[in-house]
Structure 1
Amino acid sequence: MLDFFTSLNDHNLPYPDTLHPIVVHFVIAMVVFAFFCDVLGYFTGKARLFEVGWWNMFVATIAIFVAIIFGQFEAGLAQPYDVAKSVLNIHTLIGWSLSGIIAAITAWRYVIRSHNPQKLPIHYLAAGFILVAIVGVQVYFGDQLVWVYGLHTVPVVEAVKDGMLP
């Protein structure tokens, strides 16, 4: 049984496939959906949508830290080659920054919700728009790591092990 946890598979992971993308897709969906609900609630006046937005941001705040834990662990096992390192470093920097930004926006949202759960200021929606834009940039770099540089894909893992990639 211990062999299962200490040996790495074809993806250079101790478990069947990457977990970071699975968790991070929840974060992406929750942040975007929270913003969508908040904008819709703002323009329709339906305060129930603000509640949906709040809970999505709350769960996204917790989930992003889980995504970062798996991301850091899997990045360490990826053995990125020289060309991919800069993109991985940018992706890591933005990811850690997003954890702070999401936590801060969620805290701000908690204060707003405590004072008046029926309204959202336009400044909060502007911050939500900026957050969604930053998430979009982060998605771009994450996609590059998988679809351009092939981190944790079998052919790239084999090429790195064989010394074909510096």
Structure 2
Amino acid sequence: MLEYLPPLNEHNLPYPDTIHPIVVHFVIAMVLFAVLCDAIGFLTKNVRLHEVSWWNLFFATLSIFIAVLFGQLEAGLAEPYNAAQSTLNLHTLLGWSLSGILAAITAWRYILRARDPQKVPLAFMGANVLLTGLVFFQVYLGDKLVWVYGLHTVPVVEAIRQGALQ
């Protein structure tokens, strides 16, 4: 069965480069922009910004599941060494959790929008602050996996293949 799979390249991937960061940066931007639009809309009473926020949350929720799927695939192909394993496990757990949290917040936002599209309650703004904190922590973990542990970088992949990293 394995002979039907494409060979892995120097990044230990069956395609040219990682896809997870591309999709996840799209999600991060949409979530943070949604929170910013809601905050400005909340302070200025500009209801159009709440509409912009809703659509950003909606598409971010769809996109986060794609990001998590590619993240799972690429994490499995990374063959993480011992030093990176705990950070990767936490990043994976938080990624799956964030997909559920974002879906729940988006559902809540949909209900709020259906009831009264003119305003967003303070409790929802608090949830936005929590969501922003979780996103920033997740970004920190992802950055650590790439810039500290070098997952899917050519030198690290070569070191793992040669048995230099365990």
Give the TM-score category using the shorter length.
Answer: over 0.9
- d(CA) in 1 for partners of 2:74, 2:4: 17
Aligned residues: 164
Secondary structure (helix, strand or coil) at the match of 1:6 reads: coil
User: Alpha-carbon deviation of 1:6?
Assistant: 1.1
How high is the TM-score relative to the length of structure 1? 0.97
Percent of aligned positions that are identical:
63
Q: Deviations over 1:4-30 (max 9, x none)?
A: 951010000011000000000011001
Per-residue CA distance 1:31-85 (angstroms, 9 max, x = gap): 1000000000011111000000000000000000000010000001000000000
For the residues of structure 2 that align with 1:97 and 1:11, how far apart are their CA atoms? 27
Partner of 2:46: 46
Per the TM alignment, residue 126 of structure 1 is displaced from its structure 2 partner at its CA by 0.5
Structure 2 unmatched ranges of 5 or more = none
Matches within 5 A, 1:14-163: 14-163=14-163
Q: With structure 2 as the length reference, what TM-score do the two structures score? A: 0.97
4+ long deviations beyond 3 Å: none
Measured in 1, the distance between the counterparts of 2:107 and 2:5 equals: 38
Per-residue deviation, residues 66-118 of structure 1 (Å, max 9, x unmatched): 00010000001000000000000000000000000000000000000000000
- Corresponding position of 1:9: 9
Q: Could you say if the C-alpha distance between residues 146 and 32 of structure 1 is closer, same or farther in structure 2, counting changes exceeding 3 Å? A: same
Question: Is the contact made by 1:12 and 1:78 (CA closer than 8 Å) also made in structure 2?
Answer: yes
Query: CA separation in 2, counterparts of 1:148 and 1:61?
Result: 28
- The whole-number CA distance in structure 2 between the counterparts of 1:129 and 1:55 is 18
CA RMSD of aligned residues (A): 1.1
Amino acid at match of 2:106: T
Deviations 1:142-166 (A, max 9, x none): 0000000000000000000000001
Which amino acid in structure 2 is aligned with residue 99 of structure 1?
Answer: S
Contact 1:91 1:138 in 2 (8 A): yes
- Is the alpha carbon distance of 1:152 and 1:63 closer, same or farther for their aligned partners in structure 2, counting shifts above 3 Å? same
